[in-house]
Chains A and B, each alone.
Chain A
Amino acid sequence: MAMALRKLGWGGVLIGRRGFSSTGELESSSSRDGKLVNLFTAVNQALHIALDTDPRSYVFGEDVSFGGVFRCTTGLAHRFGRQRVFNTPLCEQGIAGFAIGLAAMGNRAIAEIQFADYIFPAFDQLVNEAAKFRYRSGNEFNCGGLTIRSPYGAVGHGGHYHSQSPEAFFCHVPGLKVVVIPRSPRQAKGLLLASIRDPNPVVFFEPKASTLKFIFRQLCKIYQCWLYRLAVEEVPDADYMLPLSQAEVIREGKDITVVGWGAQLSILEQACEDAEKEGISCELIDLRTLIPWDKETVEASVSKTGRLLVSHEAPVTGGFGAEISASIIERCFLRLEAPVARICGLDTPFPLVYEPFYMPTKNKSCFRLCTCEREYTSMTKGQYKRTTFHLWILFRQPIRALTEAFVQILDAIKSTVNY
């Protein structure tokens, strides 16, 4: 199934620095010891460390022995032996089921599903078994050592079955820590190590766009810019973890909050830059973990900006953006100045030649950012000019203060009436 991709070879060539930095937790001296690596090398490093630091850890999946079709497991079998790093038969439900059994015996089972598009045969095992293992046994048993890694997302030529972003399916399953989607090599390493060591089953999606940038650069000019951005960054050699369930503000702004994850962030970052030129200041948040997700960070940001745009590659209907949108409206209704906007994939199967139309591209996002920012104006007064809009900017702080006071009064009334 991955023949075509194999034949093309692998993008080992590194192209420039990434656009944004993932500082925060990593501002330690160790970050200076790092090398410039791309995402799959970072994943490979993490797997090396995981196998090295815990003798009860195992890495397996289809084509894993020779290094995997994305080269994430390169060198592991050689170093740790074919008993700890091995091929499995071509059977996703078997991989997931086997991994659950292995994890339930107190091991760290790090399973690879070759493409997220092929994870569905394993859906029953993940939903009915892994997710409920601890709960249904009353904590007599658990498969917390389970981590399922899988590359997801658009690649430029993947068509229906090498492009999908199935994260929302798994977000609907209590018991799975779902879906950590790292936007960059440094993030990938820290989040993967944290996922492997987390005492809950984790489904971990990796953006394959950044591992395959080289190919796409050749094939598809339209992706050139954003794939460039995800090229390489300095990744510390050390063993480090990034916290799960913590979003990160990767760009501060005051007019609109933009939430995304994984490869989509690089698109959003460019959209934010373009919006900036239009005078709109965007705050960009990398959600990093989708379940359980960091509502507080998003809420704080939206409370400040009054606007929210969520963006993902998966189809818009029933996507995780809908969940974020609903939650934020619940929490920030009175602070919102425009409807929550979603720029996502279309509600079609992932199409091959139409991929550029399907994708939530930079310009789609930027356009929506601008309309979203001006929504309030058009909604209420229609004829407002940009100058009026700036007046609003000027006065919105006191207005917000009033609104908040009103909310407090409302809350007080609610509690007395015993709502």
Chain B
Amino acid sequence: MALRLARSRLLTHILRGKIEALTTFDGVSLPNLIPIWFNSSPANGNDTCRGGSLSNTRNFCSLPHAGSVQANEILTQDDKGSISQVLDFPGGKVAFVAEMRFLAESPKERISCYRVLDDSGQIVSGSRFKEVGKDLARKMYTDMVTLQIMDTIFYEAQRQGRISFYLTSFGEEAINIASAAALSLDDVVLPQYREPGVLLWRGFTLQEFANQCFGNTLDYGKGRQMPIHYGSNRLNYFTVSSPIATQLPHAVGAAYSLKMDKKNACSITYFGDGGTSEGDFHAALNFAAVLEVPVIFFCRNNGWAISTPITDQFKCDGVVIRGQAYGIRSIRVDGNDALAVYSAVHAAREMAVSEGRPILVEALTYRVGHHSTSDDSTKYRPIDEIEHWRIARDPISRYRNWVEGNGWWSDADESELRSNVRKELLQAIQVAERLHKPPLRDLFTDVYDQVPNNLRDQENLLRQTIKKHPADYPSDIPL
């Protein structure tokens, strides 16, 4: 690496010297000196002029091949007659300038945020968005409400000691449901942990959610992970894992597979603002851009990583700005505006799949709930702030205003929905609670595709101890 850089610096130096002297290059020796960097570009000499915007610039890539580089190819005359110089560097042409100019640490203005609905649920005039029909609109609303009720009830269940842990998505219902609605079921989801709405949208039943949270015998994860670590092969939703941002590179690998299989699908991965500080975020965005894969990086920038505000997390203008540095098309969207999220993800998906490229979406939102049931967020942020986002910026009521305004929803619909969901959830919890836990043997399966000898030995030993001291072990795990 260092060697390469040193070499390129040396060559640049030589090149400059030649240019300044306004002499002609030795057409024979230069190409020998510069095997990779100057005259050749990937495929062939002719189709590499990516820096086409530099007008008046004659460039190296128009030359057929090594051996014919002339100094005047890199001396150009602009409109004012001053001489400028261009370096054809991998990735395109770079202009030389006499002025020493540092890039500003940030653009003068913050990147703007796309929205469709205003705070009262009216369409912002002039906004362009993907039309949402009645059925889709109702289903989106229904699922947003269902998610909210599910969170409320499971949160209570945890408080009553019926489940060990829970984590709500309060305030991020629009992100969950609208982004899911814009995807196809063939799209592969690699979630963080605050996106159960995506799974709900795809058809995970409330009973299935309850089974996981109670870790019973019908939990697909066989009771091995904490509550809210859902996953479903049937619904193309990879099982949640707790480490932050580790799923991002997976999404790139999955997208590469979709691309190779020529599937009409992309992968989408969700993460929070805190996740963008992890190395995996950098790795994934860079890999995705370089390998040109159809993946959507969806950042839920909700302002808080447990107690760390984004001002302690990064200095730059949020997350969206970083896309450009990696060569990734990006958009910032109002995360509490279901229609904006829907439209943005819909467009992102179109571009990702048809052009085989990664897209970064940053949704601005707020984590209205605590980080989890192990957290009390009033210890580190003002209650006023929480209440403001909970009431004035609630994504569900904003969206409801729009749906109602279209005449697609009524108070009667609302009360029927709420009572049905409550009933169904309470029923699901009762069933989940009564089901026994997964059997002991599942402690040892799935470590590998088959149980190896050391695990068999350990299982035998454990069973002997259980026989002698059954009281030491939970009675609801079938032996």
Task: Give A contacts to B, CB under 8 Å.
Answer: 1, 3, 58, 83-84, 86, 88-91, 93-94, 96-107, 109, 121, 124-125, 128-129, 132, 134-142, 144, 174-175, 177, 199-200, 245, 292, 295-296, 418
Compute how far the CA of A135 lies from the CA of B451 in the bound complex, rounded to whole angstroms.
12
- When A and B form their complex, what is the total count of cross-chain residue pairs whose Cβ atoms lie within 8 Å? 156
Taking a contact as CB atoms under 8 Å apart, the answer to whether A97 and B1 are in contact is: no
Compute how far the CA of A100 lies from the CA of B255 in the bound complex, rounded to whole angstroms.
12
Q: What is the minimal beta-carbon distance from A242 to any residue of chain B, in angstroms?
A: 17
Contacts A89-B286, A124-B243, A292-B454 given; does A102 touch B449 at CB 8 Å: no
Taking a contact as CB atoms under 8 Å apart, the answer to whether A102 and B254 are in contact is: yes
Task: Give B contacts to A, CB under 8 Å.
Answer: 1-3, 188, 190, 219-222, 224-225, 229, 231-233, 238-239, 241, 243, 246, 248-258, 260, 267, 279-280, 282-284, 286-287, 290-291, 442, 445-449, 452-454, 468
Across the interface, which residues of A come within 8 angstroms of B3, CB to CB?
Answer: 3
Interface CB pairs A-B, < 8 A, 21: A3-B3, A58-B260, A91-B282, A94-B252, A97-B248, A97-B252, A97-B253, A97-B284, A98-B252, A101-B249, A101-B251, A101-B254, A101-B267, A104-B238, A104-B253, A121-B279, A125-B249, A129-B246, A137-B238, A138-B221, A296-B453
Compute how far the CA of A1 lies from the CA of B447 in the bound complex, rounded to whole angstroms.
36
**Among A102, A296, A418: residue with most chain B CB under 10 A:** A102
Looking at the complex, which one of B1, B222, B257, B280 makes contact with A105 (CB distance below 8 Å)?
A: B257
Taking a contact as CB atoms under 8 Å apart, the answer to whether B221 and A101 are in contact is: no
Taking a contact as CB atoms under 8 Å apart, the answer to whether A132 and B448 are in contact is: no
Compute how far the CA of A129 lies from the CA of B249 in the bound complex, rounded to whole angstroms.
11
Compute how far the CA of A22 lies from the CA of B376 in the bound complex, rounded to whole angstroms.
63
Instruction: Specify the chain A residue showing the minimal Cβ separation from B190.
Output: A101
Looking at the complex, which one of A93, A103, A177 makes contact with B253 (CB distance below 8 Å)?
A: A103
Taking a contact as CB atoms under 8 Å apart, the answer to whether B222 and A292 are in contact is: no
**Among A109, A134, A140: residue with most chain B CB under 10 A:** A140
Taking a contact as CB atoms under 8 Å apart, the answer to whether B449 and A144 are in contact is: yes
Across the interface, which residues of B come within 8 angstroms of A121, CB to CB?
Answer: 279
Compute how far the CA of A124 lies from the CA of B448 in the bound complex, rounded to whole angstroms.
19
Q: What is the minimal beta-carbon distance from B130 to any residue of chain A, in angstroms?
A: 28
Taking a contact as CB atoms under 8 Å apart, the answer to whether A175 and B287 are in contact is: no
Compute how far the CA of A161 lies from the CA of B248 in the bound complex, rounded to whole angstroms.
28
Instruction: Specify the chain A residue showing the minimal Cβ separation from B3.
Output: A3
**Among B188, B239, B291, B448: residue with most chain A CB under 10 A:** B448
Contacts A97-B248, A98-B256, A98-B287 given; does A3 touch B452 at CB 8 Å: no
Q: What is the minimal beta-carbon distance from B216 to any residue of chain A, in angstroms?
A: 12
Across the interface, which residues of B come within 8 angstroms of A3, CB to CB?
Answer: 1-3
Across the interface, which residues of B come within 8 angstroms of A142, CB to CB?
Answer: 449
Taking a contact as CB atoms under 8 Å apart, the answer to whether A134 and B279 are in contact is: no
**Among A99, A136, A142, A174: residue with most chain B CB under 10 A:** A136
Looking at the complex, which one of A88, A124, A137 makes contact with B239 (CB distance below 8 Å)?
A: A137
Compute how far the CA of A300 lies from the CA of B96 in the bound complex, rounded to whole angstroms.
73
Taking a contact as CB atoms under 8 Å apart, the answer to whether B248 and A199 are in contact is: no
Taking a contact as CB atoms under 8 Å apart, the answer to whether A128 and B246 are in contact is: yes
Compute how far the CA of A86 lies from the CA of B251 in the bound complex, rounded to whole angstroms.
18
Taking a contact as CB atoms under 8 Å apart, the answer to whether A200 and B283 are in contact is: no
Compute how far the CA of A137 lies from the CA of B251 in the bound complex, rounded to whole angstroms.
17
Taking a contact as CB atoms under 8 Å apart, the answer to whether A101 and B250 are in contact is: yes
Interface contacts beyond A3-B2, A3-B3: sample of 10 additional A-B pairs, CB < 8 Å, sorted by A:
A88-B287, A88-B291, A91-B286, A102-B253, A102-B256, A105-B257, A138-B221, A138-B442, A245-B452, A292-B453
Taking a contact as CB atoms under 8 Å apart, the answer to whether B246 and A140 are in contact is: no
Taking a contact as CB atoms under 8 Å apart, the answer to whether A138 and B286 are in contact is: no
Compute how far the CA of A295 lies from the CA of B279 in the bound complex, rounded to whole angstroms.
39
Across the interface, which residues of B come within 8 angstroms of A98, CB to CB?
Answer: 249-250, 252-253, 256, 283-284, 287, 291
Across the interface, which residues of B come within 8 angstroms of A134, CB to CB?
Answer: 446-449
Instruction: Specify the chain A residue showing the minimal Cβ separation from B451.
Output: A292
Compute how far the CA of A135 lies from the CA of B224 in the bound complex, rounded to whole angstroms.
8
**Among A84, A121, A141, A144: residue with most chain B CB under 10 A:** A141
Across the interface, which residues of B come within 8 angstroms of A93, CB to CB?
Answer: 249, 279-280, 283
